[in-house]
Amino acid sequence: MMHRRSSDSCSHSAALWANPGAVLRSGSAGSDSAAKEPLSTASEEYLSWLVVERRRSRNTISAYRRDLHSFESFLRHRNLMVDQAGRNDIEEFSRSLRERGMAPSSHSRTMSCIRGLYRFMLDEGFTVSDPTQYVQLPKAGMHLPKALSIKEVESLLAHPVDDTAIARRDQAILEILYATGMRVSELAGLSLGDVNRVTLDAGTAYTHAPQYARDNIVSSEYIVGSGDQHARMPSVPDHSGLEIGIAKVLGKGSKERLVPVGQAALDALDRWLDKGGRPRLEPARWKRKGDSDAIFLNARGSRITRQGIWLVIKKRAVAAGLSGKVHPHVLRHSCATHMLEGGADIRAVQEMLGHSSISTTQIYTKVSVEHLRSVYLIAHPRSRMANEHIQAIG
């Protein structure tokens, strides 16, 4: 027997979010399709469920909304409602996305969204069958993250020639992105009090990572926990009394994690927060609630956005002659790649980046083929370079 979502469930949603509709609508700002045709009730409730029950991010909801608009537009051209689509319709929609030249990752996400919609509809009584059940979803494909070399990062992070508030802010943004491997959206969401200096005690466990070209990633140690929880991690000599930075980061799915911050990044942040930096961009009156707590402000005195941070990266890349090599997460990828190349434990890097699955972090290990090759040639007993090395020291 078909049934719709109960009023108790809707009340539960309202209790968690005072106005989930506003959250969902704001996530689709700028969408032309959103202004032309409203989504079906099933699709709207699916998005609401993702926000309330699954705690999906605003960016994810925005992407899913676009996907659903595209799908429902496709069905309208076939004179079909969402609950009338069959397997052939789903497969034709998938084929149309592929023929349109959609990137494999976007294609995979869109079809996953559609499958999720029908599973939700089946559970909630909007339909009696799932037309996506036997549809083979496209694979996202292996997308290797593009990282900069250490020399290129050094060029990107070279100190600006001037000492304006904007220059201080940009330097702190770049230093923290590379030091922590944060996502751009996570950096934009940082508030005052989220980054603090702490003094290590003798009970803290570490995993060792070599020093890089600059003292940037926690003075060559990465904190992974305390006590017996991380006993599997190798320990290093006592570092009690060492002062480092710790950032509280709110990641995907509203999951909170603690990330170490290196000395170079801390110094850049101190300069930005000093009287010659952030205070100069503070407005006489804050426009929005939450702007006053933001660590990073734009030139108008509001919390900086993801797009604003991307402009900072692009501007510095042009100055460093790296304009063709950067993307919003280039410093995140570079941080992860350089740490793994330096010998950091992959589980520690996973924890630092906020990956829910180790398989996501393992992608970075595929980037360092040349590094692996050089290590093999030096270390393997049967390699020519190893034999030459043995002879040289013998």
DSSP H helix total and E strand total for the chain: 18, 5
Indicate which residue of 118, 178, 212, 364 is catalytic.
364
Nearest to 178 by CA among 309, 318, 303, 275: 309
257 counts as catalytic: no
Indicate which residue of 146, 214, 252, 280 is catalytic.
252
Structure tokens belonging to residue 276: 């010659």
Indicate which residue of 183, 271, 333, 338 is catalytic.
183
Structure tokens belonging to residue 387: 């034999």
332 counts as catalytic: yes
The SS3 assignment for 90 reads helix
Nearest to 10 by CA among 124, 130, 122: 124
Structure tokens belonging to residue 71: 């799908």
Indicate which residue of 271, 329, 333, 338 is catalytic.
329
Indicate which residue of 69, 303, 332, 338 is catalytic.
332
287 counts as catalytic: no
Distance CA 109, CA 363 (A): 18
Distance CA 111, CA 95 (A): 11
Structure tokens belonging to residue 317: 């890349």
355 counts as catalytic: yes
Question: Are residues 98 and 72 in contact, defined by beta-carbon separation less than 8 angstroms?
Answer: no
Indicate which residue of 109, 230, 271, 355 is catalytic.
355
* Residues designated catalytic: 183, 252, 329, 332, 355, 364
